[in-house]
Structure 1
Amino acid sequence: MTTPLPPDWLEENRPQRERFKLKFGAYIRLMRADKPIGWLLLLWPTWWGLWLASKGVPAWLPLIVFTLGVWLTRAAGCVINDYADRWLDPHVARTKDRPLATGEVSAKEALLLFVGLMLVAFLLVLTQNRLTIYMSGVGAILAASYPYLKRYTYFPQVYLGMAFGWGIPMAFAAIQGHVPPVAWLLYIANIVWATAYDTWYAMVDRDDDVRMGSKSTAILFGDADLIAQAVLYSVMFASLILVGVREALGAYYYAGLTLAAVLVAWEFNHAKSRARAACFKAFLHNNWVGLTIFAGIATHFAMTAQG
Structure 2
Amino acid sequence: MSHSTPLLRSLSVFALAGALALTGCGTGGGGSAPDGTAETRTVEAANGTVEVPASPERIAVLWRPTLAAVTQLGHGVVGTMGTPGADGYGLAPFLPEDVDGADLTLVTNSPAEDDVNIEELATAEPDLIIGVSTPMGAQAEMADELEAIAPTVLLEWEGTGSWRGHLEEVAGVLGAETEAEQAVSAYEEAVEGARGELEAAGVDPAGTELSLVRLQSGTEIRLETPESFPGQVIGDLGFARPDTQLEGEGDTDFVPRSYENLDQADGDVVFALAGSGYPDAPETFSDGLWANLDAVGDEQIYRVDYDFWGSANHHGAHRIIEDVTAALTGETDPAV
- If the length of structure 2 is used for normalisation, what is the TM-score? 0.26
Greater fraction of residues in helix? 1
- If the length of structure 1 is used for normalisation, what is the TM-score? 0.28
Greater fraction of residues in strand? 2
User: Which structure exhibits the higher relative contact order, with contacts defined as CA atoms closer than 8 Å and separated by 6 or more residues?
Assistant: 1
